[in-house]
Amino acid sequence: MTIQQFFSELQESEDRFEFPASCRQGRTMFGGLIAAALYQSVANKVAADRNLRSMMVSFIGPLASGSTEVSTECLRQGSSVSQWHSRLLQKGKVGACAEMVFGKSRNSLYKKKQTREKTPTTLESCEERPFIENVSPEFTKQYDYRWGQGSFPFSGSKDAQLSGWIRHHDWNGDLSLVSLIALMDAWPAPVLSLFDKRAPASSVSWMFQTMGDIPKISGSQFVYYSARSRNFSDGYAESEAELWSAEGQLLLKGTQLVAYFA
């Protein structure tokens, strides 16, 4: 099953769905797919005039492929802002949960759009990152990576940063917010570049914001990703990341806490 097929099924699901085995990441599901499922479970119910503004995800325990229960609750419905809670459960145990803020667009006298600090590495100059059997996570088969700046995981680099271009394989139509959420989390944590040998790591929490309405982006187009870890110690690393359109529009930005065992 492709990620796009999975997302299509999510739009039709009520309180239960099945994670595809093709999207594993170690002993759990790919984190971007977990976050996307949490978002879609609420997007199916929230008023159409309210867009996602902020989302905080907690990765609590491993989620396997197969049957998954969804629990959603509207915590507050204000005149312009709604706050929701969503949980994913397997065998009665919570595997992940999220708090989401949806808000209506409002007229404002004050507006400013963040611009990129520097021109990204061009797509043509980036290195293709192939899938390597028994090395690359299973879910990465679903993506087309072009590695720009920064080093590969477990390469003993001195810098915990990376950037490059990415797109879904075989995506029909335009990208949606749920697809961008998955793209945002498809890259490895920058801190892994520092390690000189393989070591386990996992996401603990992830918070990101959307930058208003999503522009029209064809699924065949690449989007630009950049991330860096400025703080890491005691087995935990903070990562800051941004996702941009090819035209330079900021799509998503966020921070993530990663636990590592090295």
Q: What is the pLDDT of residues 198-238, one digit of tens each?
A: 999 999 999 999 977 788 999 999 999 999 999 999 999 99
Of 119, 169, 184, give the one whose Cα is nearest residue 4.
169
Instruction: Classify residue 165: in a domain, yes or no.
Output: yes
Residue range 228-255: mean pLDDT, rounded = 95
Q: How many Cα atoms occupy the beta-carbon half-sphere of 75 within 13 Å?
A: 10
The answer, as to whether pTM is greater than 0.75, is yes
Range of the domain at 96: 3-105+122-260
Phi, psi of 191 (to 5 degrees): -65, -25
Instruction: Classify residue 115: in a domain, yes or no.
Output: no
* Amino acid 209: pLDDT: 95
Instruction: Classify residue 242: in a domain, yes or no.
Output: yes
Question: Using an 8 Å Cβ cutoff, are 178 and 34 in contact?
Answer: no
Q: Is 205 exposed, middle or buried (0-12, 13-18, 19+ CB in 10 A)?
A: middle
Higher-pLDDT residue of 252, 134:
252
In sequence order, what are the residues at sequence separation of 6 or more whose Cβ sits closer than 8 angstroms to the Cβ of residue 32? 181, 182, 183, 184, 185, 186
Instruction: Classify residue 49: in a domain, yes or no.
Output: yes
Instruction: Classify residue 112: in a domain, yes or no.
Output: no
- In which element (H, E) is residue 201 found? strand 201-210
Instruction: Classify residue 159: in a domain, yes or no.
Output: yes
How many distinct structural domains can be found in the chain?
Answer: 1
Residue range 42-66: mean pLDDT, rounded = 95
What DSSP state is assigned to residue 174? B
Instruction: Classify residue 170: in a domain, yes or no.
Output: yes
With bands split at pLDDT 50, 70 and 90, how would you rate the model's confidence at 262? confident
Instruction: Supply angle C-alpha 104, 110, 115, rounded to 5.
Output: 90
We report the CATH number of the domain holding residue 172 as 2.40.160.210
d(CA 245, CA 33): 20
Instruction: Classify residue 113: in a domain, yes or no.
Output: no
